[in-house]
Structures are given as structure tokens and as C-alpha cells.
Structure 1
């Protein structure tokens, strides 16, 4: 992969400012680059919620003033912008911000403090930004290694931490493996394994454990899962498109588990009126009958989805009866006030999760601990990763869970 470098060399006292429109809930990319820059010795300021909201309404004088004041107060010299939803919306939001700041003489060539701006988003969005700004804006499509990301930002090599080069070699090895696999075209000739020929497959009594035991006996493991969920500002259009995807995936016969990438609103405000609330990305399921339709269309695939961020036990019961959910997934410390993905305090979240675990144990379904990678994404050490896995596994066992699924991302 050709390395693209930011021609504007970084000075010793650079301050990075990172922001996104508040309607996009994706934050892990911002957290990752923040941690990398911090490790290289740079100060990084994450935009507050009110600044993120102002970005959406940047055409308004008060909103522009709020963003400008944030930049000036923190002496931000390098501005990063992230948006991982619709590519055309990404371009509109970014261009509006860029040109408003330019007209306000916030860039260094006009006497302001901003020396450069960079953009991170989906590949199509990056292509649109690149077409608009050429080399003026560095774009991140998501496939860059940590080392490449720092090089693109102009970080001098002497500031890289020692393990970065070693990790970069591993990342490149994985990328090369993937490229070779795709270039060879061998994946086109992969035929479905024998995963469906057990008695309960595709019925309302189908289960993950039945499939696992059958495939283990037939020596056709692993089970394959795909996580999908289209974004659209039109809720009904997004659900319609998702249903077409589900039917296609079911028809191919290559997948065992359909993991629904639901909207933030599905998780936080299921069954409520969403007028004026930001979607946040993912397919916006809001009614039980929509889940039932997904379950039926997905057969013989099993179905998994995210837990709620409030009324968590009730949402687990809903997933059980409407989806015959393959397994339940809980995040314990996450998807609450701590990461701004829900209104629960951490203690309230833990209490609701324990009550939910008790219910899941009654169903006999496995529990996925959707936990350790959330610590790792935010820069935790290996001990925290391992300890959080251990604590959640012990808690699950204490309250009756017999089968555990550990997610590794």
C-alpha cells in the first residue's frame, strides 16, 4: 500500500482537535487516533457534545461561533473530522464546516490557528472529499495501519513508540493475505458446508447449540456470522433495503448467523416516537413485527442483535420471543453514560445486566460478553482486557449461564 504523507510537517506544540456531527455515534476511530497521537506526545482535544451538535447546524451564526470558540480556546492547529454514515451527508457536513471556517479566516494562511484539516469516513465519502479538495485534505478510509495513519498526519518517525513498527509488519501481513485471497478469486468457488441438515434447522426451535453440535460432529466448523445493517435517513427505506439483504444472504446458504447492525435508536428508544432524534447509523428497527419478519426471512440462518441501552431485561425478552435470538449479547460497563451511548449510570447498567443474565440463564441460551474489546479500543492495557473478560465470565457463571461466547475484535 502506497504511503501518503501529510506535506505539512508537525511542529513540537501541535494540538489536534477531533470532532464529528452528533448524529453519528461512531467514536472508536476517533478514540484510536487520539490514543496514538497521545502516545507520540501530542495533545488531543475531543469535541464536546454541544460542539458536535453545532457542526450539524454550522450555517447558523451561533453554531459557527461555538465551533470557532472551541478551536480558539484550545489553540487547535490540526483539525480532524469523522463521519461514517451516508457519503453525501459526509461531504455536505464537512464542506459546510470547512468553508465556514475558511470564510471566518480560521486557517493559518489567513492568520488563524488551523494549519491542516483531515477527514475520516467511508471510502465513498473519502472519494468525494478528495475530489473536492485534492491534496488539501488528507483522507482516512479505514484500512490504514496505525503507522500509516501517523505518517499521513506528518508525525516524525522519532516520535513513534517502539512497538509500532513491529505491529505494522503484522498488520501488513494480514492485509497482504486478504489481497492475495481476493486477487486469486478462489473465494468464488467456495461451496456451502453441511450446516443445515439437522432436525431443528430453520424451525422456530432452531438453536445455536444444535447447530454447533451438529457441525462439530460433522467436522464442518466454524460457524460463520455476518454483521449487517444499512444506514438511511429514511427509516422505512432502510428497513426495506435490509430485508432484501437478509433474503439474499439466506439464499446463498453460506452463513449461519445473521447479526443485525441496529440503529442507536433501536437500542435506546425501541417502540418510541423518533421524531427529531438522530439515527446514529445502522438499520432502524422499531417494532416487534419487524423483528419477526427478519427472523422468518433469515431462515435457515440464526439471528443475533444488540442489547438495549435501557429496559435491558425487557428488551432481552423481546429479542427472545420475536427473533428466537441465537445468543444474547451484553456489554456490562459499556453502552451507558460512560461512553455516551445510553442514559444508565455504570452502576444502573450493571444492575440491569445482572437481572438480564438471570433471565437469559432461564432460556438456556448462550451469553456473548461484548466487553473486552471496548476497553482495548480505548487504549487499555492487556491486563484490563483479560481482567474484564474474566470478571464478566465469572458473573455469567454465577447467575446460571452455561455457555459463553467471547467476542474478539
Structure 2
């Protein structure tokens, strides 16, 4: 373990930056010691002899002129006292840092404008200056920074030209690790059938990508700055051909594919539910076979349609379970907070912890889970100043689950689609939250209310999963059997209030937000239903014998 000692020199008493640096160093495994404020050079030399550090950090943030004489004295003492084998680093303002440069004493100088990435990179033994220092695959990028999350943001403006320019600006700003290309709906559904596009809708919801060359333009735009990785949605039709295009053009950082969706359930694709499940599983397998990470963006789709919390937890497990069964090795588990928008933070955190416990129970040497947190889009108000507050608030809550990836949602999204400047500002807000979070925070996961609700949700999720298994005890693996999974929607085990009137689903579920959590609700009896009671009714009405509930 390397030892770092640090102090301010001259008559400088500004220690916040120094303490932040030492805090980061400690989290990276260094032994650290803050030795004092405004220390004379002789005292620093004495401390070095006594403590025998590997690295000495000095800070000075006042008028630069007096610093010249102080550092001249230091340079003489280093030679005189034979402590030249120490690594010396300096932190200050830009004017004082320039004075420090001239001395030749310091191997690393921080000017006060550095992002946390550069500081972490230095502590990990790297300087993020050249292209080769920016990992070019997702897992390496995560490993280079964790426990600090990498940041992701989506980007897709109404023209290719505008999107290229925005990617260039964001890459040069070095605030974002992953750019998620957001194609318009025409591209997602008809990339291989341009003749079927309704060109009146070009650019609606994203960038109008019409060729592989368009993808390459976007990739080339990102080859600068901090070389952000690129990824793109899986599309809603011809998913495997689309996956091949993404791999060959933008080196897709990871695949995002649902289990049930882009089907009759949400009308975003032409597939029947059963066909969608089969094809989505095939897409998972295709990526798993090529060791490309996969995110099954499933659970929040149910919650966005007001399914109660237990369904959100159960489908989070189902998504990960199916990814593992399809051979996925690195799984990206997305945790969308603020869904529904008025959910209480305690209940929200409990729901995420329940999901984490179930999903990560699947981990083994061949299946690794990476946590990705984000805010729910509907939680952002149209007032831009309030929206900035929501972005910071949700990010702070999300840090409680220690995400590997933080998906930044632009604060402006309720008002307008994020441009480069909006994305850069949103990322800087989140980076400020992350920086403060790692100074030390209260562990909200240990809250007794949170823990109680988490355990309730895990128990309810198992009731749901057992009910799905009961749909066909002859199936070798009902939780990954497309026919069984489709039947779970058909009979209403998996249901949402938004499915009412949809012939592809049951559409009988009612839910209600009570004390900040979402529960199944009986509108006739005007009361919350327990999950056991809800499932029992469904199994009874469908004459399904279930060993757990024994309703028949």
C-alpha cells in the first residue's frame, strides 16, 4: 500500500481540495495522512523523514508571487536533505500551478480544472491524455473507474449532421463515457425496408439513420476527446440483422433488448407477444455468443405502465434469468428510479434493492451483473431549474445502490430534446453529485423502512415467479419457456392497468399508490390486495392448480 501525505504551504489555509484528493486516494487503496495547514518547508521535510511517504502532495491557492520563493526553498531542501526519491505532486489554482511548473519538482500538477476522471486516473497509475488510456470496451471502461460510475446519455437530433456535430462537442468535453444513439422510430422499425417508412415522421424521436454509412459517421465523430463508447437501441424489427450492423459500424458497447416488449403489448412493433419473446431471446443469445454485454430493458416497462412494485421486481429477475439462460456473460441490469414519478424515495430504493438481491442471486463465474441506475423521464418537470434539482436529487438517491453505470437523463427532456450543451451541463451536474457522494454519505440502504419493504417485495416476487412456473409443470424450464411466459400475460399474472382493452393481454389489474409505494388494488372492495390473494384469484379463475397457494 502506497502512502500519500499532504499539506498546504506558505500561509494558505484552503484545505478542501486537498482533503477531497486524500479521500479519493483512500478509496483507491492508498494510506493517507493530512499533516497540516500552512506548514513551513522544514516541517514538511521533518514529516517526510518520520512518515516515509511514497507521495507528497502540496497545495497553495493564494497569490502566486510568494509561492516562487517558497518553492525555491523546497527545491534546495530536497537536494540538501536527500529526499529526491519522493514523488511530489501539486494542487492549486491555474496561476499557482504555472509557478509550480517552472520548478521541475512536481511529477503531477493539478490546476483545479480537472474532472474527477483525471484524478482517479492518476491514482490508478494512468494519465488520461492519449487515446490508448481510454478503454474501448464497456467492461474495461467500468473497471478503470469503479466504484465511480461511468456516465451514459442518449443523443439523437433530427438530422445526421446535427447529431454528428453534437457527438463531437460532447466527446471533446470529456464528460461522458457512453453515447447512446437514439434513432428515430422509422429507423428502429424499417431500417431494412426504407420503402415502408412514413417520411413525414423522419427525425421524430431521434436521429434519422438510413444507412450503415450514417452509423459510421456517428462513430467517427466520437473518435476524439475522451473517446466515448457508442451503443444503440436494438430496434423493433429485424433485430439480429440490426445487431450485426451495430457491431460492424459503431462497435455497439452493449445490446439493449426487452423480453416482452416492442410487440402487441406496447404497439411499438408488429410482433405478437410469443413471437417477440422468441426473437428477443435469440437476440440475447446472439450477443452472448459474441461476448457482447446485454441489458434486458424489461422491468421499468411494466412500472411505466403502472404495474405494481412486485411485478417490477419479478420481471427484473425474469429478464436477468433469461439473459443467463441465453448465454449472456456480462449483464447490464437497469434500475430506473422515480417510476411512477411520485414514488417515495424510501419505497423506490427498497424496490431497487429487492431487484438487486434477486438478480445478483444468479451471479456465478459465467454470469456477472453490472448495475445501471437512472432517473425516470416522467419525473422531470418542464421548469428547467426545478428539473436540474430533480436530476441531482435522483442521482444522489441512485448512488445508494453503487451503480457501475449512471444513465444521465438530460434535465431538459420534459421541455426539449437534449442538445450537446444540455448533455454536457447535465453530466456536470451528475459529476458534482458523484464527487460529493464519495466524500462520505449516510447509507440509506440500511434504513429499517427500506429493508422491511425490500423483504416484502422479494416475498411477493417469489409468489409471482412460482405462479408462472405453475402454468406448466411439464416444462423443463418454465421461466425461460416462451409459451409459459406468454401465458403469464394472457392470464394476468403479469398485467398492468394500461393493458385494459388490449386483446394481447388480460388488462384487469388495478393499482394504487399508497404511502409512496404501488400496490395491487381491488376497486370494488376498495382495499389493497396481498400478492398471494391476487395470484390466488387468477389461478382459481383459470383453473390452474398451484402447489404453493393450493387454490383448487
Q: If the length of structure 1 is used for normalisation, what is the TM-score?
A: 0.49
Q: Which is bigger in relative contact order (C-alpha 8 A, separation at least 6)?
A: 1
Computing the radius of gyration from Cα coordinates, the structure with the larger value is 2
Q: If the length of structure 2 is used for normalisation, what is the TM-score?
A: 0.36
